Structure 1
Amino acid sequence: MSKRRINKVAVIGSGIMGSGIACHFANIGVEVLLLDIVPRELNDKEKAKGLTLEDKVVRNRLVNDDLAKAIKSKPAPLYHIDFAKRISTGNLEDDIAKVSEVDWIIEVVVERLDIKKIVFDNLEKHRTPGTLITSNTSGIPIKFMSEGRSDDFKKHFCGTHFFNPPRYLKLFEIIPGPETSTEVLDFLNGYGEKFLGKTSVIAKDTPAFIGNRIGIFGIQSLFHLVKEMGLTIEEVDKLTGPVIGRPKSATFRTVDVVGLDTLVHVANGIYENCPNDEEHDIFKLPDFINTLMENKWLGSKSGQGFYKKVKNADGSSEILGLDLDTLEYRKGKRASFATLELTKTIDKVADRFKVLVKGKDKAGEFYQKSFGSMFAYVSKRIPEITDEFYKIDDAMKAGFGWEHGPFQIWDAVGVNAGIQLIKDLGKEPAAWIEEMLASGVESFYTVKDGATYYYDIPQKKYVKIPGQDSFIILDNIRKSSEVFKNSGVVVEDLGDGILNVEFQSKMNSIGGDVLAGLNKAIDIAEKDFDGLVVGNQGPNFSVGANIGMIFMMAAEQEYDELNAAIKYFQDSCMRLRYSSIPTVVAPHGMTLGGGCEMTLHADKVVAAAESYIGLVEFGVGVIPGGGGSKEMALRASDTFRKGDVELNTLQEYFLTIGMAKVSTSAYEAYDSGILLPGKDIVVVNKDRQIATAKAVARMMADQGYTKPVKRNDVKVLGKQALGMFLVGTDSMKDSNYISEHDNKIANKLAYVMAGGDLSEPTLVSEQYLLDLEREAFLSLCGERKTLERLQHMLTKGKPLRN
């Protein structure tokens, strides 16, 4: 059978969702044709220009306006603005025939069956047989959409439900129609995971599929519970946010962001289409939601929802919260609970659940009721919405940003304890739960040989979750393959001669223990292994150096100790580069300051597409001191070309540090010279990152890796560059663009990157630049304003401009 490849897709419908899907296909290098309807009348601008409805610019106005709006939106739907060039636009009258040239047609028009059927009629006239055709519906049954279509259409047709925004939310639900071929389902399942970077979940054709059925149940049950328990919206958001591994926006803020109308549309659909759901009444909207809908208080898009941002007389702004009893806005209320205080010292979210459900206050009662009802509900959705419960967990994690799915939370609480929570509410779990316990199985999941197994209900035994072979899950292998451990890192044997060093500090910040662990890992790898990966699977790769430690030493004027600590950081980064084995760093999420410096010193970088990388030290009053300033001078030197204005090249690298630029994706990090084309690679699916990094290290070792020779050929420009930088920073200070202290930091950085005040361009060694960098870093640590910046970052979590 011939291999199916996706080189070009057509997206039909350019609204928020259609444009977002088009942008994400462009992100992964696919050519996209985006089509929408022709406007029925001219707008005022077009009338003024004397245009007619026949003009191409008018006929494509809707699609072009939608796409332009999407590209400008925040967070950005594209990894890089240049990727927009991969999208061409058109309309459904003039350009519909072009769908004959594509490999996959994705329909994203309005959620009305009659309109979708008209679109499919039109598409079928032009579609090439064998072309994939899918609908991004969030609720219309797939079986209704394929009625009356040709056999070839039905065989290649199914639902592919992306979650909004498509770049950032990982859930990709695939919903087969009655006649969808297994080849199509298998292909889409693999393509979603491998190319689109998604968690692919094959769902059944039931109302709202998996993610929204469970997610909307969770939100609706909270809407009822908040009234029953007399909680405020701030209290619910405190209880349902990061403390239980959910996004910061928790419940009510998330509804404001998504839009109340979107939520109501899905909830009503479930209420109407699931009359036999035992929790049918939960999907009925409470009165306060109906009032919000009538008032058009839909959230961010209408300027107010559960929260409202107002400007005060003095120009400051504050956020008001909605009182659910009076339905009037009032000053925000701080929420605090004794039970939450008990979890402050518990770093791992999974370990908090047991404590939370035993709480004796309102928070404890809230968790008992909300988890109890969720456990009962998910247990009874099998086999209705899926045969395998792990798909429910996958859907909630990938679609709603939960760190743990409902069955994982149930495991964390204890299966028997979870059953008790259900029974305390006067409910019963599904019969299969009791049968599972009766057969001697006491948890939904288990880990064996580095892989996760789930309890398979029909087979009554543990079965390996499919698709794990392309992943390495560090949580699963940590215990069995640990080679070394201290309080900052765990070093694991990834197999095939490759070691991994995983940071374990708070927010993966880099202090003495992490550096000691990294050096130890290099020692072990050089002696007994073939390569080293520096990678972890925390929310972020690393937020940078441990600034608490720097602040303490600087405040107590322990400059010798501080000098030694900075030198240790520099030496560790240089060891990463000049070890006798290949080193691969795998950044993802926030990779800031020292985390970025470590990335700069790897032999190769395997970055997750969602990596936010930058040298942000200016924000805390210093320059990069772990080799980052040296490295940017070296990279500038490497890009000098004959006939270049070398000062301009150096200035770009200087500004990357001076403006504390952080890339909004790994692809943007190529622009700032932090990632290098041809050397460093980007992976779209973060779950594959460690496995890919291991494969890259293995390949480098197999190709005959030799230890690099230390550099002493870095061209620095001396006084010529220094003079230009000083003039530039002074004029920025004079025009109040930067503060006096910013000016001082910038001048120190200028001195390092120019290689000091040498009288002419000179070739110097890396060590020469490292010594200048360290000296500048230390002198800045002696400044009162730097101490103020460090302290502000430690206490407030944001930079101070002083």
Structure 2
Amino acid sequence: METTVEKPRVQKAYETRRIRKVAVLGAGVMGSRIACHFANIGAEVLLMDIAPKELSPEEQAKGLTLESPEVRNRIVKAAFENTLKAKPAALYNEKFASRIKLGNFEDNMPEIASADWIIEVVVERLDIKQKVFEQVEKYRKKGTLITSNTSGIPIRMMAEGRSDDFKAHFCGTHFFNPPRYLKLLEIIPTEHTKPEVVEFLMDYGAQILGKTTVLCKDTPAFIANRVGVYAIMDALHTIEAMGLSVEAVDKLTGPVLGRPKSATFRTLDVVGLDTMILVANGLSQNVPHDESKEAFRLPKSLEFLKEKNWLGDKSGQGYYKKDKETKEIFALDLKTFEYKPQEKVKFKALEATKMIDKVKERLPVLIKSDDQAGEFYRKTFASLFAYVANRIPEIADHLYQIDDAVCAGFGWEVGPFETWDTIGIEYGCQIIQEAGKKVAPWVQEMLAAGNTSFYKLENGKQLYYDIPSKSYKPIQKSGEIIILDNIRKTNKVWGNAGSTLFDLGDGILGLEFHTKMNSIGAEVIEGINRAIEIAEKDFRGLVIGSNAENFSAGANLAMLMMFAIEQEWDEINLMIAQFQKTMMRARYSAIPVVTAPAGLALGGGCELNLHADHIHAHAETYMGLVEFGVGLIPAGGGSKEMTLRVSDSFQEGDVEFNNLQTAFMNIATAKVATSAHEAMEMGYLRKSDTIGLNRAFHLAEAKAKAIELAEMGYTQPKQREDIKVLGRSALATLKAGIVGMLYGNYISEHDAKIAEKLAYVMTGGDLTSPQLVSEQYLLDLEREAFLSLCGEKKTLERIQSILTTGKPLRN
């Protein structure tokens, strides 16, 4: 009989050492936030800073001394409390703050002996860092990781004079602020750093911290800041020469290019002009052989703002200024250096790309436009293309490392080399030469050899052009990545205008939405039903998710509005019934259904997740039943499902009404979880659901969960008929609370009407006593309530406001 030998599991690099306790040295803006992110992943954290050298007036008045315990940690405590108050929140859940212990360098430094990783985040001065490392060497146990978050000081200089073991385990780990939200983690080893330490940090950063880890060389500003700051400074000089306005540039360099809404000048104000000036000046002094170092010279506008000490948000004004009385935002005139009202911006290039949704399809049109916007794009992209090509191998060995670093660090959707690919390498070379710059020799050689792109797809895998070998190689990542665009042509199973089915391999089917904001309309409903039908026949599991920024912003309200205006109540009833039926089919299919939400999962998008067998949520998932904001209640099974979950939560001795009230209030206030961890606390995720941190691996992790459920012997569940509802007494109590809110002017009369209908559904209606009811009973109640609200004038006004302005109306 033939036997098969199972291959032994290969240990991953991030599993080679355990990180249980982390010591963060320095509690400033970055240190406190890095501490919070390690707390987010469950690590025990010791956050330290200096002990005060003198008493504050308040401490003197209390008769305290420098030896008093509350004085010793005053600096670290104040810094940490500021971080906890800051928005956006540094922690996934405020309770995670308990994982962080505060201390000071004098009293608590011995405790680093029990740390698995020590991270230095003190002030950017080499002498101070070296003094801290001298202290660290006294207590650090051999083999412990020791890294620095410096953004400007050479890593090799900080390790001078340290022991061999220190040097072997020392590395730069440059997080970008805020660490919870920005994806980039630059890893910068020295010649003494052990290769296994580098491999561990690269993998741990990606797999556990959820970062895009990029291996960097120990060069000034590393990769992201070197390229990103160059792009900004070069653009500032181009703007000055072309006479463009602040508001025009921010219109041209924001979302239209797949970059953050803050674009150029708003980003500078938020980051702080002093920070940009410091980095630019540092680069100007430290890159003597950089052919484009002149770009780091400060333009007139930055010199003016520096002189005035108008440093952006931190000083109340910079390139923008907000009038305190009128709240109007003024922009700096770059010719007169006076503030003026913002003008409406109009460019032919922007008009031509209004209907192009995909950034990569938009870029060639923008760059080749024959207006002033096109000229601006050609000049700035020509400089950027020439610059990044010349930085290899100075700052990175591989071109994809530059794209990864800039995209993850600055929030660009498309990196410099990817952008160059979209317009064609030859055209890119043409605009470089027209700008009076030189094309890097390796690019010319690449073209001469017949290679016409920096990246290409082969069998669904993305390859990059490897300069040393002059061939294409697969991009190396720390885990499995599923990019749907890469398999769109080869693995498509079915599709319509709003959804596509993919064979993800290993017997798992994938369903992607691609409507605007992934809203759920007729095409998506058809897609869900077809996906389950096909999966039950030919696959062993279904994953619903995509690579898009948001899972789903909810149901498409436009069709509902049209039917409501025309009073087509039967059509609305059928539409809701179909939605409910689809959600229930997802819940009670013959194969496991796994959803992979990330970003927004609102309204109908939340309801779909609630009916999955398993949710693998990205940590940055913002989930909620928000129908109340448009004058409705959740009727795609959301009200039913939360009532069911409340029923399942009842324990002997509980005050059952309290559980119901909490779920009711979450829906009645349209509360949205600010993280997946908060969604779990609110009951939208179950304890059995999982949370991932790295978007790159998210679909692959969801697929692995679907395989696991299938291999465990998945059995189709049976619809529930044992849901405990509390009936008339609970309904009366909820109504009393609603009346109190109304009389206190906390809610409007229409809010009260919606709330009463929601209360009716979640208590099971007009039942004389608590009873067990079926899912279908609750679905019928929520559908009836939803239908009645569609006939309300104030509900239609709320829907119209969302559709026309995007803003909720409180009427």
Given the two structures, how large is their TM-score scaled by the length of structure 2?
Answer: 0.97
- Give matches, 1:325-474, under 5 Å: 325-467=335-477, 469-474=479-484
How many residue pairs were aligned? 798
**Of 502, 513, 518, the match for 2:528:** 518
Q: Deviations over 1:400-456 (max 9, x none)?
A: 000010000000111111111111101111000011111111100011222211000
Q: Is 2:322 the partner of 1:317? A: no
Counterpart code for 1:620: V
Answer yes or no: is the 8 Å Cα contact 2:48–2:102 preserved in 1. yes
Question: Who is 1:194 aligned against?
Answer: 207
**Of 548, 552, 567, the match for 2:562:** 552
3-state SS of paired residue (2:67): coil
Q: Deviations over 1:62-108 (max 9, x none)?
A: 01111111011100000111111111111111111111111111100
Q: Is 2:749 the partner of 1:740? A: yes
Question: Who is 1:212 aligned against?
Answer: 225
The 2-side partners of 1:416 and 1:630 are apart by 59
Counterpart code for 1:796: T
Question: Who is 1:123 aligned against?
Answer: 136
Q: Is 2:509 the partner of 1:499? A: yes
The 1-side partners of 2:116 and 2:721 are apart by 52
Deviation at 1:59, TM superposition (A): 1.0
The 2-side partners of 1:559 and 1:348 are apart by 37
3-state SS of paired residue (2:107): coil
Q: Is 2:21 the partner of 1:8? A: yes
Answer yes or no: is the 8 Å Cα contact 2:207–2:478 preserved in 1. no
Question: Who is 2:52 aligned against?
Answer: 39
Deviation at 1:215, TM superposition (A): 0.4
Q: Deviations over 1:336-363 (max 9, x none)?
A: 2111011111111100011001111111
**Of 149, 169, 189, the match for 1:156:** 169
The 1-side partners of 2:349 and 2:152 are apart by 38
Question: Who is 1:287 aligned against?
Answer: 300
The 2-side partners of 1:405 and 1:202 are apart by 16
The 1-side partners of 2:329 and 2:510 are apart by 45
The 1-side partners of 2:94 and 2:650 are apart by 26
The 2-side partners of 1:231 and 1:268 are apart by 24
Deviation at 1:715, TM superposition (A): 1.1
The 2-side partners of 1:735 and 1:307 are apart by 40
Question: Who is 2:314 aligned against?
Answer: 301
Answer yes or no: is the 8 Å Cα contact 2:33–2:90 preserved in 1. yes
Deviation at 1:478, TM superposition (A): 2.0
**Of 5, 9, 20, the match for 2:33:** 20
Counterpart code for 2:612: A
Counterpart code for 2:716: K
Answer yes or no: is the 8 Å Cα contact 1:134–1:160 preserved in 2. yes
The 2-side partners of 1:450 and 1:42 are apart by 64
The 1-side partners of 2:724 and 2:161 are apart by 71
**Of 185, 188, 194, the match for 2:198:** 185
Question: Who is 1:268 aligned against?
Answer: 281
**Of 591, 606, 626, the match for 1:581:** 591
Q: Is 2:722 the partner of 1:713? A: yes
Answer yes or no: is the 8 Å Cα contact 2:479–2:697 preserved in 1. no
Indicate the larger mover: 294-303 or 51-60: 294-303
The 1-side partners of 2:633 and 2:273 are apart by 45
Question: Who is 1:769 aligned against?
Answer: 778
Answer yes or no: is the 8 Å Cα contact 2:16–2:200 preserved in 1. no
Q: Deviations over 1:638-677 (max 9, x none)?
A: 1122232222211111001001110110000111111111
Indicate the larger mover: 467-476 or 382-391: 467-476
Deviation at 1:468, TM superposition (A): 6.2
Indicate the larger mover: 9-18 or 283-292: 283-292
The 1-side partners of 2:254 and 2:643 are apart by 42
Deviation at 1:178, TM superposition (A): 2.3
Q: Deviations over 1:103-126 (max 9, x none)?
A: 111100111111111111111111
3-state SS of paired residue (1:94): helix
**Of 489, 513, 519, the match for 1:509:** 519
Indicate the larger mover: 302-311 or 129-138: 302-311
3-state SS of paired residue (2:106): coil
Q: Is 2:622 the partner of 1:612? A: yes
Question: Who is 1:754 aligned against?
Answer: 763
The 1-side partners of 2:658 and 2:97 are apart by 28
Q: CA, structure 1 residues 605+48, in 2 after alignment: closer, same or farther (shift >3 Å)?
A: same
Deviation at 1:335, TM superposition (A): 1.2
3-state SS of paired residue (1:426): coil
The 2-side partners of 1:155 and 1:641 are apart by 54
- Give matches, 1:91-130, under 5 Å: 91-130=104-143
Question: Who is 2:4 aligned against?
Answer: none
Question: Who is 1:78 aligned against?
Answer: 91
Answer yes or no: is the 8 Å Cα contact 1:26–1:84 preserved in 2. yes
Counterpart code for 1:713: D
Indicate the larger mover: 699-708 or 712-721: 712-721
Counterpart code for 1:484: W
Q: CA, structure 1 residues 563+741, in 2 after alignment: closer, same or farther (shift >3 Å)?
A: same
Deviation at 1:606, TM superposition (A): 0.2
Q: CA, structure 1 residues 762+301, in 2 after alignment: closer, same or farther (shift >3 Å)?
A: same
The 2-side partners of 1:556 and 1:296 are apart by 59
Question: Who is 2:573 aligned against?
Answer: 563
Q: Is 2:149 the partner of 1:136? A: yes
Answer yes or no: is the 8 Å Cα contact 2:207–2:479 preserved in 1. no
**Of 65, 69, 77, the match for 2:82:** 69
3-state SS of paired residue (2:213): strand
Counterpart code for 1:530: R
Q: Is 2:485 the partner of 1:475? A: yes
Instruction: Name the Cα RMSD after superposition.
Output: 1.1
Answer yes or no: is the 8 Å Cα contact 1:793–1:799 preserved in 2. yes
**Of 648, 656, 668, the match for 2:658:** 648
Question: Who is 1:251 aligned against?
Answer: 264
Deviation at 1:538, TM superposition (A): 0.5
Answer yes or no: is the 8 Å Cα contact 2:203–2:478 preserved in 1. no
Q: Is 2:633 the partner of 1:623? A: yes
- Give matches, 1:667-682, under 5 Å: 667-677=677-687, 679-682=688-691
Extract unaligned runs of 5+ from structure 2. Answer: 1-10
Question: Who is 2:793 aligned against?
Answer: 784
The 1-side partners of 2:536 and 2:371 are apart by 54
Answer yes or no: is the 8 Å Cα contact 1:436–1:460 preserved in 2. yes
The 1-side partners of 2:693 and 2:96 are apart by 15
The 1-side partners of 2:664 and 2:591 are apart by 31
**Of 649, 655, 670, the match for 1:660:** 670
3-state SS of paired residue (2:523): helix
The 1-side partners of 2:403 and 2:533 are apart by 40
Aligned identity (percent) is 60
The 1-side partners of 2:30 and 2:713 are apart by 48
Answer yes or no: is the 8 Å Cα contact 1:451–1:468 preserved in 2. no
The 2-side partners of 1:651 and 1:449 are apart by 53
